[in-house]
Chains A and B, each alone.
Chain A
Amino acid sequence: MELVENKENLEIGAGDCIQLKKNILLELKTDSIEEYGPNLKLLPSNDQVRELQTILRDRNTTRSDFKFYADRLIRLVIEESLNQLPFSKCTITTPTGAQYNGLRYERGNCGVSIVRSGEAMEQGLRDCCRSIRIGKILVESDAETHEARVVYARFPEDIATRKVLLMYPIMSTGNTVIKAVNVLKEHHVLEENIILSNLFCTPFAAKAIVQTFPQMTILTSELHHVAPNHFGQKYFGTD
């Protein structure tokens, strides 16, 4: 991202104008969403969401606050992810005897969390879908080669027929998620049936994932070149 930014500055030839630089960055951000194709979606932002993101970014946030506000942002991201699930129109009768044209969700969904930080999002999903089945994948990066490898995977048996809500809060390179999606595909889950729920994503990871899995839906709350990698440690208190 730094590279792109500098390049833009050079082209315009106003490298010393900080405000301009900011504007370009902003434009880049908005442009970039389309650049990633239709399957990358951003949580609609408002001041409230911005506050949650700020608290999670702030190094001075206490752990108790961190968990509290992380759970809130997770809940919002999960709710928005569920909007990606298929539904059908229906008409019901209200207690007042009137008709109401509503929507009904299709059955056959499940969640899959990527251990460990993805598990932080499980409660949020449970709070929305009480009895949803949740699978798990453990992907570890090799300490030396930094290559991600799958250590453990456990899914509902009929996962191939289900829509899968894949949960992973922080993506900086996207390697872990790519590994995890590959595992899902090995279990015959269709790429277009996977919805990735994410809190913070770098443009690099977004690009990598979109390119690797163009059919998969990705939902994140923020695209930013710095990933808050402290998330898992701070959330679970192992820092």
Chain B
Amino acid sequence: MAANIQEYDPPSSASSDSDVCDRVYEDTRVYEDTVFYHDVEEDTDSFHIVSPPQSPRPPSACGSQKSPRARRQRTTSMSKSKTTNTSAESVLRSHRRTIYTAGRPPWYNCAGEQVKPFVIGICGGSASGKTTVATKIIESLDVPWVTLFSMDSFYKALNEKQHELAILNEYNFDHPDAFDFDHLIPTLKRLIKGKKVEVPIYNFVTHSRENKTKTMYGANVIIFEGILAFYNQEVLKMLDMKVFVDTDPDVRLCRRLRRDICERGRDLEGVLKQYCTMVKPSFSHYIAPGMSHADIIVPRGGDNKVAIELIVHHVHTQLSLRGFKVREKLASSAIGQPLPSSIFLLPPTPQVQGLHTFIRDKDTSRDEFIFYSKRLIRLVIEYALSLLPFKEIVVETPQGGSYEGKRCATDKICGVSILRAGETMEQAVCDVCKDIRIGKILIQTNQATGEPELYYLRLPKEMKDYLVLVMDATVATGAAAMMAIRVLLDHDVPEQNIVLVSLLMAESGVHTIAYAFPQVRIVTSAVDPEINDKFYVLPGIGNFGDRYFGTEPAD
């Protein structure tokens, strides 16, 4: 195998090198980090970078691309190579399939409950090909949301003296003491719980942590990779599957030599000194014993197709046991049951039906479509507001005398729209609630898996005190709405404080949400009986966002 040495690049450049990231959104750093890392130079046959194809709900924030950040500077004074072909392409195409990697697929089962992710630990000596194995696993897994969590981010900051030693090739980067386990362990724990974590960014030039951190979210599959991945007992307990990459020491030394001398311009003497005095002894003392913990030992690293297939098969079995395939399951459940008690259907007056007729008609012009859908949205929002808590009050009238009336019992109301179609409802909610705060959530359907994925999240602070109107124009399977509700629950919003507002829902979506979140109130103006194979509601309205924003694909 060619010197396929790919180390996980420290996060500073993880999201910046993308040249195809059509789906870069302002402030999406939280999500874009969790992507595939692969070596473009080596794997061009199996990976092609392609621009993201049209998804049924294209992002609304197109064009807000960030300018690429400068790549991390590289150093030759460290023990490990830091080849960086790490990139954050949101779409990768392997020889068989196109994989979308930017968004987060469901992290809960079809009852809306949090599901524990599957954690794979990959250990192996320096230059053994851990990242290649990780990449191949990810590629074959075909699971879009995978967090690759590297020990390298947790190198300890060096003091001045240690820094000088490092320059002289005398600092041992392969020793357990070089890593900050006290920081690593809680971070990994939180990640496994599905919580947001801040991962330090280690600067290999100054050997210190940068002020910035990288935000990572939990995932369905977490791959934890590092030379000492199996060293710590507590870390070991968190790993569901332990993979040791066992590459022949000669091969590893060859790779190091080639990389450090040919690519980094270091001298043979220095590299060998470092290898003999530190890298090799550390391997024998701390890394090789990790093999006894391994479930699978992969000889020859990434070239070992059989081993990788075995691993992938096992992970798939585990994932399906954990119930991650949400949407397919959702679409088929509970058809024909009576509607749940948590649904509030706008009374179908002639006006409401007339408005539906306008916006459902495929021949309605966009101008009219927008106008009539706005009217309908306003009615739905007004209706939704009647579900707020009210208290009875008595007011003084200008005519003298008092008047017994009602007043809303809370002023903490906020809207959260599910991009893009949900945004069309923001204006109406602002028109009826003065100064209302609006949060946004971007969820896209992954074309390859049909699953919803979370891309972007901006919510008002202190959400837990608010009554939240979640807005989406149409709800088909309910998968996106469910994800949005799950996000709110993760932000400590009480379930009974959530109201889901939409124009049109499919019956199955209503059941799904009511089943998963019985206390969430559902407000809509119509419930349609069916969903087609593209997850559109039937008879439906078509793609609401496309029709409203004028982005229908040309025929």
Residues of A at under 8 Å CB distance from B? 44, 46-51, 53-55, 57-60, 65, 68, 72, 75-76, 79-80, 82-83, 85, 87, 90, 92-96, 98-100, 102-105, 127-128, 130, 226-230
Contacts A94-B541, A103-B353; A226 near B401 (Cβ below 8 A): yes
A50 CB → nearest B CB, Å: 4
Q: Are B538 and A104 touching (Cβ within 8 A)?
A: no
Q: Are A58 and B360 touching (Cβ within 8 A)?
A: no
Q: Are B353 and A51 touching (Cβ within 8 A)?
A: no
B59 CB → nearest A CB, Å: 21
Q: Could you say which residues of chain A place their CB within 8 Å of the CB of B385?
A: 48
Q: Are B350 and A96 touching (Cβ within 8 A)?
A: no
Complex CA gap A60/B395 in Å reads 8
Q: Could you say which residues of chain A place their CB within 8 Å of the CB of B536?
A: 96
Is the C-beta of B320 less than 8 angstroms from some C-beta in chain A?
A: no
Q: Are B390 and A47 touching (Cβ within 8 A)?
A: yes
Complex CA gap A103/B354 in Å reads 5
A-B pairs with lowest CB-CB distance, top 5: A54-B405, A95-B542, A102-B357, A98-B539, A48-B386
Segment from B99-107, B328-336, B371-379 that makes contact with A: B371-379
Complex CA gap A229/B401 in Å reads 13
Given A59-B396, A102-B356, 10 more pairs with CB closer than 8 A? A48-B385, A51-B406, A51-B407, A54-B406, A57-B405, A95-B542, A95-B547, A96-B542, A127-B375, A228-B398
Complex CA gap A87/B532 in Å reads 31
Closest partner residue, chain A, to B397 (CB atom): A57
Q: Are B349 and A80 touching (Cβ within 8 A)?
A: yes
Is the C-beta of B399 less than 8 angstroms from some C-beta in chain A?
A: yes
Is the C-beta of B293 less than 8 angstroms from some C-beta in chain A?
A: no
- Given A59, A80, A87, A227, which contacts B354 in the complex, CB threshold below 8 Å? A87
A101 CB → nearest B CB, Å: 9
Closest partner residue, chain A, to B546 (CB atom): A95
What are some 8 contacts across the A-B interface (CB < 8 A)?
Answer: A51-B390, A58-B403, A59-B397, A93-B361, A95-B543, A96-B542, A103-B350, A103-B354
> Max chain B CB contacts within 10 Å: which of A49, A59, A75, A100?
A100
Q: Could you say which residues of chain A place their CB within 8 Å of the CB of B129?
A: none
Tell me the B332-359 residues at the A interface (CB within 8 Å): 347, 349-351, 353-354, 356-357
B321 CB → nearest A CB, Å: 35
Complex CA gap A72/B429 in Å reads 12
Closest partner residue, chain B, to A61 (CB atom): B395
Complex CA gap A99/B407 in Å reads 43
A107 CB → nearest B CB, Å: 13
A74 CB → nearest B CB, Å: 12
Q: Are A47 and B361 touching (Cβ within 8 A)?
A: no
Complex CA gap A50/B363 in Å reads 39
- Given A60, A83, A87, A130, which contacts B396 in the complex, CB threshold below 8 Å? A60
Contacts A57-B403, A82-B351, A103-B354; A75 near B386 (Cβ below 8 A): no
Is the C-beta of B62 less than 8 angstroms from some C-beta in chain A?
A: no
Complex CA gap A54/B401 in Å reads 13
Complex CA gap A100/B537 in Å reads 12
Q: Are B382 and A228 touching (Cβ within 8 A)?
A: no
Is the C-beta of B388 less than 8 angstroms from some C-beta in chain A?
A: yes
Contacts A103-B357, A130-B371, A228-B399; A47 near B386 (Cβ below 8 A): yes
Closest partner residue, chain B, to A50 (CB atom): B406
Closest partner residue, chain B, to A86 (CB atom): B350
Contacts A47-B406, A51-B390, A59-B396; A90 near B538 (Cβ below 8 A): no
Closest partner residue, chain A, to B395 (CB atom): A58
Q: Are B351 and A83 touching (Cβ within 8 A)?
A: yes
B43 CB → nearest A CB, Å: 40
Q: Are B382 and A72 touching (Cβ within 8 A)?
A: yes
Q: Could you say which residues of chain B place their CB within 8 Å of the CB of A68?
A: 434
Q: Could you say which residues of chain A place their CB within 8 Å of the CB of B393?
A: 54
A223 CB → nearest B CB, Å: 14
> Max chain B CB contacts within 10 Å: which of A103, A105, A128, A229?
A103
- Given A55, A57, A92, which contacts B360 in the complex, CB threshold below 8 Å? A92
A21 CB → nearest B CB, Å: 13
B266 CB → nearest A CB, Å: 62
Q: Could you say which residues of chain B place their CB within 8 Å of the CB of A93?
A: 361-363
Contacts A48-B388, A58-B397, A98-B539; A83 near B360 (Cβ below 8 A): no
